[in-house]
């Protein structure tokens, strides 16, 4: 089995190293000092579960790799539409794309029975630009419950979590998901195959849609948001509204808001990915994490006043940052984290 990791930032490099450790043929796609460090010394993963190294092939040119069986997509979702030159050389007619993205995926209504089946979410897939690059049939969903950061070129600090839930957009369990899961498990990761991956998406999004924008607006960590009376109340409202929207499109996650907030509080002084992107002058993943939720509220006639208000302010912040996804994708598409 050949796997290419496109987007070998902290998450991608960690997954690639783990797959290599489990015996999979892995090729990493990276750039700059990170690429040179991987070429010279491999990937070093520093983890409370035990440090390890993996000497995997690495390149900045996917054409050197050619078609593979699986592409693990670690790019930020806001760079998908511009990533065709990186993705196309890796594909053949049976290549599976495991998309480890935050928020609502471009395939969300693909194969989902009901009134919205086949509908495109404009904030996620504007004018079908993402679907043109990433067609629907090869896509497998992946929800990441793993926290990592790049400590330096070629060095990944694994903070917590090893779970990567995967599943078919059309539901059920498939051979291609089972095969990838087995490779991940062989490398020391958890990779359950979910019959309904949208439930996992919604459970993670419940936290991301609230904590990510608030963290960027307030420059606050998870524990600071969860222990401040005002922001904790705001998170609660946003989560309740998110659950209402999820139910309106047929998804009913079995999780309490209190449990979700308390879990975020236990994470402690962790900065969300959106706050980290803001501090690094990168574009914010606002479209898939919050704008898409508001679009689904519009679609279903859900009021969602708190989500709408926070989105309006966060959108203004994203505008003022002044960095567009296109410019960042052109600068470093292969090293963006998930």
> Which of 44, 76, 204, 282 is an active site residue?
204
Task: Determine whether 105 is exposed, middle or buried from the number of CB atoms within 10 Å of its CB (0-12, 13-18, 19+).
Answer: buried
Per the annotation, the verdict on 282 as an active-site residue is no
On whether the CB atoms of residues 157 and 125 are closer than 8 A, the answer is no
Contact (Cβ atoms closer than 8 angstroms) between residue 328 and residue 9: no
Tell me if residue 142 falls in helix, strand or coil.
Answer: strand
Query: How is residue 282 annotated by DSSP?
Result: P
Q: How far apart are CA 308 and CA 294, in angstroms?
A: 6
The DSSP letter of residue 54 is E
Strands 139-152 and 96-100: parallel
For residue 219, with 0-12 CB atoms within 10 Å meaning exposed, 13-18 middle and 19 or more buried, which class applies?
exposed
Report how far residue 261's alpha carbon sits from residue 277's, in angstroms, rounded to the nearest whole number: 22
Q: How many CB atoms lie within 10 A of CB 96?
A: 21
328 C-beta neighbours (distance < 10 Å), count:
20
Which residues are paired to 190 by β-bridges? 163
CB 280: neighbour CB atoms within 10 A?
9
Q: Residue with structure tokens 């390890």?
A: 52
Catalytic positions, written as ranges: 204
């Amino acid at each position: 089995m050949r796997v290419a990791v496109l987007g070998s930032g902290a998450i991608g490099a960690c997954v690639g190293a783990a797959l290599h450790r489990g015996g999979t043929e892995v090729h990493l796609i990276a750039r700059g000092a990170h690429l040179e460090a991987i070429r010279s010394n491999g990937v070093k993963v520093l983890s409370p579960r035990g440090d390890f190294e993996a000497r995997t092939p690495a390149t900045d040119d996917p054409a050197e790799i050619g078609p593979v069986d699986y592409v693990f997509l670690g790019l930020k979702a806001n760079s998908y539409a511009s990533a065709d030159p990186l993705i196309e050389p890796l594909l053949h007619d049976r290549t599976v794309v495991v998309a480890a993205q935050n928020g609502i995926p471009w395939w969300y209504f693909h194969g989902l029975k009901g009134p919205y089946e086949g509908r495109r979410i404009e904030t996620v897939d504007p004018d079908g630009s993402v679907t043109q690059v990433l067609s629907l049939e090869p896509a497998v969903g992946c929800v990441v419950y793993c926290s990592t950061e790049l400590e330096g070129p070629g060095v990944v600090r694994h903070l917590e979590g090893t779970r990567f839930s995967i599943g078919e957009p059309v539901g059920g369990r498939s051979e291609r998901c089972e095969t990838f899961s087995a490779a991940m498990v062989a490398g020391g990761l958890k990779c359950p195959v979910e019959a309904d991956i949208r439930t996992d998406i919604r459970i993670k999004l419940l936290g991301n849609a609230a904590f990510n924008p608030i963290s960027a607006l307030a420059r606050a960590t998870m524990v600071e948001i969860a222990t401040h009376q005002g922001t904790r109340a705001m998170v609660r409202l946003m989560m309740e509204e998110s659950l209402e929207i999820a139910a309106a499109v047929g998804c009913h996650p079995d999780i309490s808001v209190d449990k979700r907030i308390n879990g975020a509080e236990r994470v402690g002084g962790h900065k969300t990915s959106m706050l980290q992107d803001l501090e690094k002058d990168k574009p914010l993943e606002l479209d898939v994490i919050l704008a898409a939720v508001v679009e689904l509220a519009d679609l279903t006639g859900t009021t969602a006043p708190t989500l709408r208000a926070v989105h309006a302010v966060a959108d203004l912040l994203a505008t003022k940052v002044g960095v567009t996804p296109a410019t960042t994708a052109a600068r470093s598409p292969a090293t963006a984290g998930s």
